[in-house]
Structure 1
């Protein structure tokens, strides 16, 4: 039998002379050596403490406000003053009052705390990302409790398909656009007329009654949101909250950013898996998204020294911002602005008790003023 031509031209090389070659394809991203962090991360302990304290404060405010409302509804002896902090649940009133202040230079006498709290949360978002959403907001805290409960019950959370996730995230911006349009179309006189209407004076009572006397449709909506939050992280915040959308746009101006150092990063992707906003932290150098809440979950999960941190975005600085500085900054802004409003006498709404005695028992009769109403025309 004839020898093939190629074996005559190219002699066989002994196997002992061949280099050892592994047929397994190595992942170049997995070759980095891990240099473990030496400092213990306390960011989540601090953040969850803030969340719990602020949630308890809101529960206390809600309880006091309920007792205050019942005093006027039943005629019982008044034992507690109206807590102005309840106006934190009136963000639209805060926007209207802020515009009124910008146009007139006068601080409104009705629901001024709503304006000062809005300014506080704007300031926090401007300096410290959307830290209000992940550190202070009671709705955000309850939402986080729900998805963590879902993790324990179902061993995981679920992420909506990208083709559906993107348009759903746009819903909160549509809602925000509607409210911004409604407020921006009002003149100072129209805002004053709205606030001085029966509905405007007891807008806080109307808000309480919405939850006290939740109808069938409202109950179904709340139930759907609760169930959805068990499966999808921060369902309400991610897709439907216009307040979060407003603060997210404001946070784009923040000097703080989550920054990843590729030289130290070991590409384990733990940061991306931990991110409640489903941001690809492991693929980016700087997180600039309006969805970033500054929760520091990604930083807490990173095992590599110097790979991921919150830092100033100024190119000349790139200074790391420790957890204590972020926590202290949020507290200073909150208590500083609220303290100023209280000290200066701008915190409490100026409504006499006799007017509350007339309006609160008949709150269900107060109709929301419409743009075409005579009182709202210029």
Structure 2
């Protein structure tokens, strides 16, 4: 019979897994962008850590990450320091997959790997964390994405096309997150997860840890066998391992009530109280971010797009939106991308038959490289579309968003000024998109570019 805390923990992980999987599916169907569904990168705390250096140094996020990534990263870090790795034990969808595989392996009698054999790789995730961050911060792009099992899970609905485009990521998903976890519970979490590596470091200084009363302990080893992370709980007064995910399985398995518990300074917390406290902090932080307008899952101009406008093209964009991103007319874009002249201009690139948006980028770069210098990135202000965001327009002309707003006579603190389509901003400002076109002309005439 499942205890209440374990049941609620399973429900919590299952709901987060179901929700994020549904969002991932909808992203594949609807697409991203200001009015679309965010990619999984924007809903992953590790994306915040990957973009942290770029954000601090240049105020820009890496492609596919967003302010939401950074907010989640900071919230998870705070939760870990104050309550332990509750995110890993109660929320993380990838952890839920790994733990479910471990439970399945246990049920069908899959032989377990000896403890001495599985312990050597505990620090491998720290090495992976350092390597990923060094290369990500150096090159300014998500270097782990082709190998990320969570990204692969999010693209499962794409079928064989997605598998063939990112085979290593799917191999990691099926072999290490699922397959290996049947032999060693949460195999990926223990040895390979870079986010787990970062939280391992924070858990070492966490205020909340499992504490054991040696006087009432009967040394039965039930806590050791119950731990999904393979921690030896029975030999410690206070569990200092950074691998503890605050799941409470060891506490729930103890036959002597009160022998194990979570210690927060002088207070003792049950697994249920700890888990609910972590979930409360998580949802409260999300609610505050939403209410204050800080929560944004789309960031129009990534670091990559700022230096290379072609990198700002996504599959969810229409021909007209993509053309505006690189400073071309729709006709020029169609020619450069090798499309038929009759191609629909209001359909997402990813939905156009036989179109590979990555190949389109290659063709566009070649076209722009061969174009006269005076034409590169130059867009007639009269060609600015209401579907473009103000941040996209500002990037094309090298102007600040606030300067454009001021020149157009719109409030400089207009809500959603950066991420919403111009037609929506015009509605909120009680104005028209033509005002932005006129403002751009004025600023360019003053040498604003």
Please report the TM-score for the alignment, with normalisation by the length of structure 2: 0.59
Contact 2:251 2:271 in 1 (8 A): no
Aligned to 2:24: 62
Picking from 175, 184, 198, the partner of 1:224 is 175
Aligned to 2:83: 128
Displacement after TM superposition at 1:97 (Å): 3.3
Contact 2:24 2:39 in 1 (8 A): no
Q: How does 1:103-252 map to 2 (within 5 A)?
A: 103=57, 111-154=66-109, 158-162=112-116, 164-185=117-138, 212=158, 213-215=162-164, 218-225=169-176, 226-252=178-204
Give the direction of change, closer, same or farther, for the CA distance of 1:274–1:229 in structure 2 (3 Å limit): same
Greater RCO, 1 or 2 (C-alpha within 8 Å, sep 6+): 1
Aligned to 2:398: none
Aligned to 2:384: none
Give per-residue Cα distances to partners, 1:185-227, cap 9 Å, x unaligned: 47xxxx5xx69xxx9xxxx999956983113555544432222
Deviates more, 1:303-312 or 1:292-301: 303-312
Contact 2:212 2:261 in 1 (8 A): yes
Contact 1:87 1:113 in 2 (8 A): no
Picking from 336, 361, 364, the partner of 2:358 is 364
What is the DSSP-based 3-state SS (H/G/I as helix, E as strand, rest coil) of the residue aligned with 1:258? strand
1:276 aligns to 2:270 (yes or no):
no
Partners of 1:206 and 1:266 lie apart in 2 by 45
Gapped regions of structure 2 (runs ≥ 5): 302-311, 323-348, 351-355, 363-449
Give the direction of change, closer, same or farther, for the CA distance of 1:348–1:281 in structure 2 (3 Å limit): closer
Contact 2:113 2:184 in 1 (8 A): yes
1:325 aligns to 2:287 (yes or no):
no
Partners of 2:132 and 2:286 lie apart in 1 by 25
Give the direction of change, closer, same or farther, for the CA distance of 1:173–1:278 in structure 2 (3 Å limit): same
What is the DSSP-based 3-state SS (H/G/I as helix, E as strand, rest coil) of the residue aligned with 2:290? helix
Deviates more, 1:101-110 or 1:345-354: 101-110
Aligned to 1:97: 51
Aligned to 1:263: 215
Structure ID, larger Rg: 1
Contact 1:42 1:323 in 2 (8 A): no
What is the DSSP-based 3-state SS (H/G/I as helix, E as strand, rest coil) of the residue aligned with 1:286? coil
Contact 2:227 2:249 in 1 (8 A): yes
What is the DSSP-based 3-state SS (H/G/I as helix, E as strand, rest coil) of the residue aligned with 1:273? helix
Aligned to 1:76: none
Partners of 2:60 and 2:169 lie apart in 1 by 37
Give the direction of change, closer, same or farther, for the CA distance of 1:289–1:321 in structure 2 (3 Å limit): same
Aligned to 2:307: none
Deviates more, 1:340-349 or 1:92-101: 92-101
Aligned to 2:11: 49
Partners of 1:234 and 1:158 lie apart in 2 by 13
Give the direction of change, closer, same or farther, for the CA distance of 1:92–1:124 in structure 2 (3 Å limit): closer
Backbone CA RMSD of aligned residues: 3.4
Aligned to 1:3: none
Partners of 2:242 and 2:157 lie apart in 1 by 30
Displacement after TM superposition at 1:240 (Å): 0.9
Partners of 1:147 and 1:205 lie apart in 2 by 21
Partners of 2:68 and 2:23 lie apart in 1 by 13
Aligned to 1:36: none
1:299 aligns to 2:256 (yes or no):
no
Partners of 1:270 and 1:205 lie apart in 2 by 36
Q: How does 1:18-37 map to 2 (within 5 A)?
A: none
What is the DSSP-based 3-state SS (H/G/I as helix, E as strand, rest coil) of the residue aligned with 2:297? coil
Partners of 2:254 and 2:101 lie apart in 1 by 24
Displacement after TM superposition at 1:41 (Å): 5.2
How many residues in Structure 1 have an aligned counterpart in Structure 2?
A: 301
